[in-house]
Amino acid sequence: MSDIPDEFEAKYYDKDYFQTPKGKKYKDAKGEIHGWSYENPDGEWVGAGYIANAWKTMFDPQNLLDIGAGRGTFIAYARDHGIKADGFDYSHWAVSDDGRYHRCKAEWLKWHDATLPWPYKDSSYEVCVALDFFEHIYEEDVGFVMSEMYRVSSKYVFLEIAVTGSGGLQGKGEGYILKKGEPVPLGLEGMAVAGHVTVQNEGYWIDHLDNYDWFRRRDMETHFVSLCPPSVLANWVQNSIIVMEKM
């Protein structure tokens, strides 16, 4: 039986999603059952160290907020580079003692639903990062989530967003937008199994990011890519890396 729900709520992002090999079941277009998960035993990814170092080089921030931080891996690596990093995630399991990355302290990572007002003061973080996050947000909530992201960031926003056209979980077509409470079409279960509900091209996200107080820094995006080994960014460069700076 498929695990794909009509609405991706916090309970979907459990141990089977993050850790259990092929823990989430989905049907392909022919109705056959397959399994998928991140299959990551402990949340480790050494590539996070290169990326955190690039953030330190580019932004030199005192603090950083990781939005949709998962198990807190990037928080720990950012702290290794002298950045006071905090974060939140929608998954109760990911932020628990069982799921959290072992080098991420409990006080650095909290549970929160990004579609509700964020528990942070205005301009409280120099940098907000959101990695493989916005494709998990239903279109009706995108505007609010972006407004909260801009509200709590005092200087920079760094995004890595899964976009259509790169294959894999994003597919190769025109993308798709799923609605809360509506069954996922059978042909999309294999892409939606990762919880991706809004998969569009980069232009879609740039339009939503448009804000008169913020502008895009393409030069910083290029600089970031130059600071990391190609092997680390092999998947990211197939998606969209976007840097926004506050005027």
The answer to whether position 156 is within a domain reads yes
Asked if residue 107 is part of any domain, the answer here is yes
Give the pLDDT confidence of 43-64 residue by residue, as tens digits: 999 999 999 999 999 999 999 9
Q: Strands of 109-111's sheet, edge to edge?
A: 109-111, 84-89, 63-67, 125-131, 153-161, 240-246, 214-216
Range of the domain at 158: 43-246
Does some domain include residue 26? Answer: no
pLDDT of 128 reads: 98
Q: What is the CATH number of the domain that holds 49?
A: 3.40.50.150
Predicted local confidence at residue 144, as pLDDT: 98
149 class by beta-carbon count within 10 Å (0-12 exposed, 13-18 middle, 19+ buried): buried
How far apart (Å, rounded) are the C-alpha atoms in residues 93 and 17? 10
What confidence score (pLDDT) does residue 121 get?
Answer: 98
Question: Residue 172: its pLDDT value, please?
Answer: 55
Q: What angle do CA 84, 156, 204 make, to 5 degrees?
A: 130
How far is Cα 57 from Cα 40, in angstroms, rounded to an integer?
28
Q: Are 124 and 98 in contact (CB under 8 A)?
A: no
Q: How many domains does the chain have?
A: 1
- Output the pLDDT for position 21: 97
| C-beta contacts of 83-88 below 8 A and 24+ residues apart | 83/52, 83/55, 83/56, 86/110, 86/125, 88/112, 88/114, 88/118
In a domain, 123, yes or no: yes
- Specify the pLDDT at position 168: 52
Residue 48 inside a domain? The answer is yes
Token digits of residue 176: 């798709």
Please list the rounded mean pLDDT of every run of 10 residues in the chain (247 residues): 97 98 96 97 97 98 98 98 98 98 98 98 98 98 98 98 71 82 94 96 96 97 98 95 97
Residue-wise pLDDT tens digits, 136-162: 999 999 999 999 999 999 999 999 999
Determine the 3-state secondary structure of 66 from DSSP: strand
Residue 36 lies in a domain: no
Residue 15 lies in a domain: no
Q: Is there a domain that residue 121 lies in?
A: yes
Q: Would you state the pLDDT for residue 174?
A: 77
Residue 30 confidence (pLDDT): 93
